[in-house]
Amino acid sequence: MTEVTDTIQGLVDGADVVLFMKGSKEMPQCGFSSRVAGVLNYMGIDFKDINVLADDAIRQGIKDFSDWPTIPQLYIKGEFVGGCDIITEMTLSGELDQLLDQKGISYDKAAADKIREANA
């Protein structure tokens, strides 16, 4: 494993929910990152945000690490979940709730329901 891979593995293992994104959860710097961070924030999920724009090695390394070509990338309990489209679909279908429940991650169920109601 390379140094970048070791660093990424440490980040993924270091928190229950990790979002590799462009910008930060307070100030996303692309629409896709903003959407995923917005869902996580709205649902009250405690997550670690990693700004890939701050480090080119991490920006490319995370794509190699997950074998996924785009940012953002969401990890829950060390498992790669997906990018913006997948997280959006999982949120709307209720699959994200199920995964969070399975992994023991706390979130605001009423907020998740509101997202689905608003997009029905």
Going along the chain from its start, the domains and CATH numbers come out as: 3-118 (3.40.30.10)
Asked if 22 contacts 51 with a C-beta cutoff of 8 angstroms, the reply is yes
Q: pLDDT value at position 43?
A: 98
Task: Detail the residues annotated as belonging to a binding site.
Answer: 30
* One-letter amino acid of 117: E
Q: pLDDT value at position 120?
A: 86
- The tens-digit pLDDT sequence of the chain (120 residues) is 589 999 999 999 999 999 999 999 999 999 999 999 999 999 999 999 999 999 999 999 999 999 999 999 999 999 999 999 999 999 999 999 999 999 999 999 999 999 999 998
Task: Detail the residues annotated as belonging to a binding site for [2Fe-2S] cluster.
Answer: 30
CA distance 30 to 66: 20
The H or E element containing residue 17 is strand 17-21
Q: pLDDT value at position 1?
A: 59
Question: The pTM is what?
Answer: 0.96
CB count within 10 Å of CB 54 equals 11
